[in-house]
Amino acid sequence: MKKLKALTALLAAVMLSGCSMGVSVENLLIPPKLDEQQNEIYQALISSTGSGISLKYPKSGDHRSAFVVTNIDNEPSDEAMVFYTSDSVQAGEAGLRMKVLDQYDGRWQAVYDIACMGSEVESLGFTNIGEGDNHDIIIRYTMLNQTEKTFSVLNYSDGIIKELYSSLYSCLEVVDLNSDGYNELITVVPDKTTGSTFAMMFGRDGRSLNKLSQVELTGAHAEVVHVGTGKVGDDVPALYIDYSRGQGQYGTDVLYCHSGHLICPDSGMIGRFSNNYTADLASADIDSDGYMEMPGMTPLPGYETLPRNEQLCAVQWYGVTAHTVTQEHYGYYSSKYSFALMFPNRWYGVVTAVPNLLENEIIFISYDSATGLEVNETNELMRIKIVDKGDKESQKAATGMTLIGANVDSLYYCYQTDANAAAKLALSMSELQDSFILL
């Protein structure tokens, strides 16, 4: 019992301190028990490699086991892929390796061993690139410094693994981007020497990958944070690549094909940032028209001179038409309350928002530089109140307001005033219904 308590204390200390003290949590934990098939594969691995090995597990994706058993060629039986490190690795050799094992007369045998391009396996995936029944293997790796990512595209046939392509990457997608009926491999690769970022599209030609097109992206990418698939123009498939510029700033590049060539319209001037009011935004089909939009931000009237972390901003939503980026919507966006209100054109530059977080209300006023962000009877246009469905007292406080929306947790009420009727700033009920969006 004392030994068990001591081990528990040591494990807790290691996890809390982050200091290995020569002992890792991985070494302290008991590995999962192998089933019969895994044990047969493991014994075949030991026979070909030696006993001084440690199994490595993909950190994400659909295949998280150290033993991935599936059919990766055109033969009827399954193969096994195992990632491992070996105590017998020689100086200059890659520490992380992958073994492919195949079945012969019902027995597992190691048939191929390759050096991996990273120190950790991020994910393992299977796909079909190009025309034909191809069994393509995509392995994503991270390096020791965790800041660089690499990938390999492999193909297994006749007992031999062939590497079709490998590279550093910041974004990797398999999608039919050129609408030819077959998947292409799309990669985004930063060039640290020039500071540029390039997108490349690869197609399959027999057992090779050929670069079909390349284009320089417009943004100064620090890290890709989100990739969305959507459309531009006349139902043209597109990738929306949201990236970090560093220091809480973000941007978006949109990538699509025209006449077989990659196109990236200039969106470098569209930027946004996260602060006390707005979390990081991603591209989205904000108006549910079947086409995605890219978000940008600009301070609402009255917030322009405040420090950036205190600026309440309008979100500008941009679409792509005829290879040109154009603004489609402008309005209020609340990450906290999960709704957006698109402003009509007559509100641009003359209406602003004032949050009343204690009452869970957003108040929209006509802006006058003389009174600033003060809310009074003459400038208030409307207010939106967010009420928890379980809060009966707050629902009573919303008596007299109009219910304009609801989700699983909240009710959304609106109250409009008669202020500025002469300026025709008030929204009709149909305008309000069209402009109010639950996120």
Nearest to 321 by CA among 242, 371, 260, 265: 265
Residue 212: what pLDDT? 95
| pTM greater than the 0.95 cutoff | no
Nearest-angstrom CA–CA distance, 257 and 213: 9
Residue 233: what pLDDT? 81
* pLDDT of 403 higher than 60: yes
Residue 10: what pLDDT? 43
Burial of 381 (0-12, 13-18, 19+ CB in 10 A): buried
* pLDDT of 323 higher than 60: yes
Residue 89: what pLDDT? 64
Nearest to 177 by CA among 231, 217, 251, 126: 231
Nearest to 138 by CA among 247, 217, 62: 62
What are the pLDDT digits (tens) for 190-231? Answer: 887 787 899 999 998 777 899 999 999 987 777 899 999 999
The whole-chain average pLDDT of the chain stands at 87
- b/e map 18-49, b = 16+ CB within 10 Å: eeeeeeeeeeeeeeeeeeeebebbbebbeeeb
* pLDDT of 39 higher than 80: yes
Residue 223: what pLDDT? 85
* pLDDT of 80 higher than 90: yes
Residue 218: what pLDDT? 86
Residues 6 or more apart in contact with residue 92 via CB below 8 angstroms? none
Q: What average pLDDT score do residues 23-31 get?
A: 44
Residue 13: what pLDDT? 44
Q: Which of 27-36, 369-378, 416-425 has the highest mean pLDDT?
A: 369-378
Residue 24: what pLDDT? 43
Nearest to 168 by CA among 156, 145, 157, 177: 145
What are the pLDDT digits (tens) for 124-158? Answer: 999 999 887 778 999 999 987 667 899 999 998 87
Burial of 222 (0-12, 13-18, 19+ CB in 10 A): middle
When pLDDT is cut at 50, 70 and 90, the band that residue 98 belongs to is very high
Structure-token match 């070494």, residue found: 27
Nearest-angstrom CA–CA distance, 155 and 285: 36
Range in 122-126, 266-270, 362-366 with the lowest mean pLDDT: 266-270
* pLDDT of 28 higher than 50: no
When pLDDT is cut at 50, 70 and 90, the band that residue 19 belongs to is very low
Residue 94: what pLDDT? 60
